[in-house]
Structure 1
Amino acid sequence: MKYFANRFLTILAIAPVMAATSAADEPLTFENVTPLEANRPDEPIREEFSIDAAARFLDATALNWQKNRKCFACHSDYAFFYARPLIDWKAPAHQQLRSRLEDLAENPRDVKYRMTEAVMVASMLAQNDALTTGKLHSTTRKALDHMWTMQREDGGFDWMKYNQPPSEIDDHYGVTVAAIGVGAAPDGYAETPAAKAGLAKIREFFKNNPPANLHHRAMKLLASIRVNGIMTEAERQQVVEGLFALQKPDGGWGVVTIGNWERSDDKPRDMESSDGYGTGFAIYVLRQAGIPSEDSRIQKGITWLKTHQRTSGRWFTRSMWKDSKHYITHSGTAYAILALAACDEI
């Protein structure tokens, strides 16, 4: 009898642990997601790299943003759509968020940043289609066609400008995102009359509006991989050389040195530290430019990513706007995943 009593007590003791483990393993959805801890620079580093933890952070970030804000943002749930499919695009969170994005495409909002929203929705859907079904969804085609109605005669789009680099600061970012999306769109969408006319204007925009910094040039390189006539091979090589020149001794990169933006809070810029966005973005661009994953400099960057993931699964990046929420950590985590996937490390 004493044996059974002790066994019963043991079961009671481990039951909460089993329940917690089960909850941690349960796929996240709108129904069960819980609030995340804030992005902070002193969050401990994980003992071991985990792509599952990274995926769970992406899911939780995007689901929470939608639940709390009921909108999409360049630094949070938009980034979700080009990173999450690289791990598992059939995850419930991806399905739910994709449905929300399609609904927004079918019902565009008349808001002050509607041009930005039109470009981001269309580009994310197109890139997401390419990474999932490989077919252009009818809603994606509708979103892309709608995007062109927002394009200015000079080829640009009236972009959201809140002095929050890199995604909410200038028109150049929007033009490159549009080009990347159209170039990635399946089923030859780039050859449609609307796309040809729009891309011709984009080429003219790039001709008349040279990139202001290396981040601009790197984004332009990503667009040029998918759309011809945007960048020469010599210009791509300059981007490659520029990125390698900025690699830190620890193997990583810092986004502030890639973009060289000024802060809005007048605090000193950290030009020395590596971060998730800078490292992930640089490696991804370099791989797209054709640098082999076996290159020792790329491998140093991958090692940095694998040894600097936080316990939550994220890679921290300090906001270049002001020290507050550090939302760029979210898109930085997405780029870390893109970099790892580009090197067959997930």
Structure 2
Amino acid sequence: MNTEYLSLLKYYRDPRLAKALKAKIDELAKKIEENIMIMHVCGSHEWTITHYGIRTLLPENVEVRAGPGCPVCITPATDIDDAVKLALDGVTITTYGDMSRARGNRMSLEEAKALGGDVRVIYGVQDAVKMAKREPNKQFVFFAVGMDTTAPATAFEILKETPENLSFLVSYRYTPAIQGSVMESNVLGIDAFISAGHSVTITGLKPYYEYFLRSKKPMVATGFEPIDVLMAIYMLLKQIDEGKPKIENEYTRSVSWEGNIKAQKVMDKVFDLEDGYVRGVAIFPKAGFRLKDDFRKIDAREQYGLKDRSKTKDEYIAGARCGEVVMGLIDPPECPLYMKTCKPEDPKGAPMVSQEGTCWIWAMHRIVNVSPRCKR
């Protein structure tokens, strides 16, 4: 780890800066008077907020809630079911570790492996490509889950011409469309939004503009250190205090208005956007990635005759309230299964499986009480 990075890290975790920002936040919150609810849409932000106790620093009339930003949590159970079916039918499934543990309507890929399915945990799509090349007599499928942060790598590999024995079960979701739909909705009563810095690094701020014009909800793209998050909260409160909502960029060391043009072009060559289901929540317009018709021969759904269920609603385990956790309607302790029958060592719902899931994060920090809330 180089000296420059350590110096920068120290700056973004400086207690003195945190105290100064807290004072500024308190001052603005007192001026605003009414209750303010802020939503973030990123599991990494939730980890930072929880780990550093940021909610405990906020005044009573300012609340930060976790929204739909965990990739594993929002992957439809029907897509997991398809991957499980293929594994049990003799196809080698490659995917990420936390995704292998998330249960579909029947079982998880990990459970399918215990029943004899060939399920392999990988770190990225490149691993799937290498495995398929090494074992040309086996049929491989890469279960492509995640957001626009990981989609470019898959698109890049596809454009390089993948091995003939490798196909793709695509379940990517587009963050601007999900956050944008929530921005336009009045159901949750959200006043302002913190956008995921790594996603916006790829997409840029530009795709959010149409949603902002319709919603007029303040938005700040933010990094993942505690000072980043506190600064974003301050910037949002300042917008609200001045009555001038806008799109702002706190994460200037990574994010731009246009985003990563090269990554976007690669995605545009490979994927189209269609309506996509967010598990346990709803169908979001233009939130789902699918392979273009030119790539049908490597589309696992086409190759194995899988029904397209991208718009099919599915349910979580009986009694769980995972969808409400994902949408920020409740905190994990409000789910009757939380830390009782659903624990990190024996997860039932996806938010307890993934390290980006709100339930897993709260459980690992031993939080058993509901967070302070503004009265709506």
Instruction: Please report the TM-score for the alignment, with normalisation by the length of structure 2.
Output: 0.26
Instruction: Please report the TM-score for the alignment, with normalisation by the length of structure 1.
Output: 0.27
Higher strand proportion, which one? 2
